[in-house]
Chain A
Amino acid sequence: FPFEAPQAMFFQDDEIRTLSTNFIASFLNLWDTNRVNLMVLYQNESQFSMQVDSSHPFLIDENNSSSNDYGNYLSNSRNLTRVSSAKSRLEKVAVGPEAIYKLFQQLPGTKHDISTKPEVFSMECYKFPVLNGILITIHGCFEETAQPEVTESHDTRGAARGNARFHSYNRPKKVALSKKSFDRTFLVIPGPNGNMIVASDLLLVRPFSNEVPWTQIPA
């Protein structure tokens, strides 16, 4: 392959390196522990959506028996190769903190081992010139640790917000929790008082693979 050997991390310059690694570390930490605290990063025009790519290639081996059950994701997946009506395409993008948080609650609880196993993650960060922003893309995996706080069945309108113990609504069956791999792209722009705003957040969930190309780099 004529391109230079792969590199796990790419940063356009040192300033971006500091900014983006700090951003990702604290973002994923809060994502795993308390997603509501992330909402300060999102503003009215911020957009979030997630997509499932269940046909993405991955390593099949005996240690990787985790079922690839996307039951917790599929109803919100905005894989546009599979969603064609303009209406549902629009519905699957969350715009503004309120809608985004609602969608966040519908995703399973997670754990990202970024502090203990940084080698399973890979990142690219570079400038987005127009808004003086940074694009941060992270590739890696996470473990699902809990069922979503809120699950959305297809008839949410009529369903009463009951006191079901584990789920807000009755579900036909529990979805098995497993590891997943993901790619996530943030567009981060400077906010009014020096803080950061996430303008766009694109999450892609795909089958877990315990082999990642960026760790096979010859020394």
Chain B
Amino acid sequence: MNQDPKPFLKNLLSSLDASYHAPTQSFTNVEAYATQFGSGLKRSCAIIINGQPIIPSPTEDSKLQFQKKWLATPISSHQLTSYDGHLIPSTNMFIINFSAKVKFDQSGKNRLGESADLVQENTLVKNARPLWGSWFGVNVNLVVDNNFTAGGEIINSMDYRFTYVPKDTVLKV
């Protein structure tokens, strides 16, 4: 492997983990925020999450559907723990199998910092930090075009599977 896909994988994971209100990056609107999740995905990318495929509809391609759903998840934090990949001869594509651990914010807020509580008692807490839950285990398989340094939409398929779900999570998977 002459190119290291590591920066690419890290970028992918950090795009999934981006938060809406952050000192370092902020987004002008929700759309700009949502469309950066997995921006390396192709519009027609085959996406499978925990064995469930995302089926594109005539109005929404699979990437957009994925981004909409991901927007509704709590803030996440991925950590890459292992990866390996093969360049498949005569296709210019890599198959990458990587594993990561991921924790989610359990404060009850969504990615935009909103919670479903109608009575907001804790308005005093201004700079609420995420309350991280336990680590989940994830195994992900990607088919990626050869030119990952170029950026852009290069992921042909993504198969994201939780391999371990901690018992003390409030998140219903």
Contacts and interface: CB of A to CB of B under 8 A. Distances in A.
B30 interface: no
B95 A200 contact: yes
Interface stretch (B16-24, B33-41, B85-93, B123-131): B85-93
B109 interface: no
A47 B86 contact: yes
A126 B162 contact: no
B72 A2 contact: yes
Interface stretch (A100-108, A110-118, A205-213): A205-213
A42 B53 CA distance: 29
A216 interface: yes
* Chain A: interface size category: 35 or more
Nearest to B135: A57
A130 B91 contact: yes
Nearest to B92: A130
Contacts of B80: 81
B4 interface: yes
Interface in A190-217: 199-200, 202, 204, 206, 209, 211-214, 216
B48 interface: yes
Interface in A114-135: 122, 124, 126-128, 130-131, 135
Contact of A56 (B1, B83, B99, B173): B99
Contacts, number: 168
Interface string B56-86: 0000000000000100110000001111111
B89 to A, nearest CB: 5
Given A3-B69, A81-B83, A204-B82, A56 B51 contact: no
Interface stretch (A6-14, A28-36, A152-160): A6-14
Interface in B125-146: 134-137, 139, 141, 143
Contacts of B139: 137, 139, 183, 204
Given A1-B173, A89-B1, A212-B163, A185 B73 contact: no
Contacts of B14: none
Contact of A122 (B51, B85, B135): B51
B161 interface: yes
A10 B88 contact: no
B6 to A, nearest CB: 7
B173 A6 contact: yes
B69 A57 contact: no
B163 A80 contact: no
A78 B162 CA distance: 22
Given A124-B159, A135-B157, A58 B164 contact: yes
Interface of B: 1-2, 4-6, 46, 48-53, 69, 72-73, 80-86, 88-91, 93, 95, 97, 99, 101, 134-137, 139, 141, 143, 157, 159, 161-167, 171-173
9 contacts: A2-B73, A3-B49, A6-B162, A53-B81, A80-B1, A124-B159, A135-B157, A211-B165, A212-B163
Given A79-B81, A80-B5, 5 more contacts: A1-B172, A2-B69, A51-B83, A52-B82, A137-B97
